[in-house]
Amino acid sequence: MNVFEEAKKIEEYIIEMRRHFHKYPEISWKEVNTSNKICEELDKMNIPYTRVCETGVIGVVEGKKKKPVIGIRADIDALPMKEETDLEFKSVNEGVAHACGHDSHIAMLLGTAKVLSENKDKLECTVKLVFQPAEEFIMDSGAGHKILVDEMKDIDNIVAAHIWNKIDAGTISVDPGPRMSSADTFKIEIKGKGGHGAMPADAIDPIVTAGAVLSSLQTIVSRELPPSEPCVISVCSFNSGSAPNIIPEVAVLQGTTRTFNSDIRESYLERMERIIKNTCESFRADYSFEYYPGSPPTINEENSSMVAEEAVRKVLGEEGLVECDPSMGGEDFAKMLAKIPGCIAFIGTRNEEKGKVYSIHHPKFDIDESVMKNGVAFFVQYVLDMQYKI
């Protein structure tokens, strides 16, 4: 079977699916119509499925053997943001947009399902098609984890892909090792004593205290951690006060931490608490500190990456396989990789001639749709090769 040609035959279908999901995006845990459409398409292919986690779907394509079981995962939720494109199929749901490529992820997995279901005689394994909700819901413990516990314990290997505009259309990166960072979040509430802005000695200023906390937190990365380790502590929200002459009672800081190193990730909580506590004490303020564990680092398992690299060569040639720097963005597929060997591929979509240059989460983000067949071909070839490597 010429896998790339099989994917090319259904390119029109893949694009049609992507445009449908792009036009009707739904945010995390609200992907009801998205889930229904996925099930409708699986029904047309006679692929049995189970609904999980309310809006998740897991389809099953059985080949000649029940084992091994290879999983392919696609995230299905959109972002709570306004789209600023002029696409004919732009979002009709105000304030919701597929600005991270999940619409194409769904389309590629449905395309893969179509190719696999029509070529079951080539399968010496069972394939689980995992349509995962709520990947963008970073304050949650993660939909990936919820699905994993109940529905994925029989999967022997798992693969995913993310549309990636850091690399050119027509290329794919499947490097082993760290691919995306951990993604935890935090909230710090500084509690002072309100008063008149002209009489600061009678107050305990939470804004000044919070400013000192903010600055001191930056020294964790610059002075406590090795320069060779990529690490981030970002305060992304600072809210306090309501008038120019009133010292408020409370200041609230919110932000995120990132790293590829699990030991450093585990140390963030203690390091941050120490600085917050001591700084607040020196300014006579009280505080509360909440730290929300999100996704661990996304680490490609070496053997899976080797199989993936060969799959890319087979469908796109040697020139289609490229290296790509890891990203400090987070990805809750990491929770699956922490339990199951596998890898995530970056599907290159950057095309300056077509103007497809905006980064993910940008209101003008769009993709070169011609690359989606590459993702389908990669998934199918990966399954065909991995079934003999487990």
Annotated active-site residue 103? The verdict is no
Tell me whether residue 135 is one of the annotated catalytic residues.
yes
Judge contact between 123 and 383, C-beta under 8 A.
Answer: yes
Catalytic entry in 6, 26, 31, 77: 77
Catalytic residue among 103, 135, 301, 368: 135
Q: Cα separation of 151 and 157, whole Å?
A: 14
Q: Which residues are catalytic?
A: 77, 135
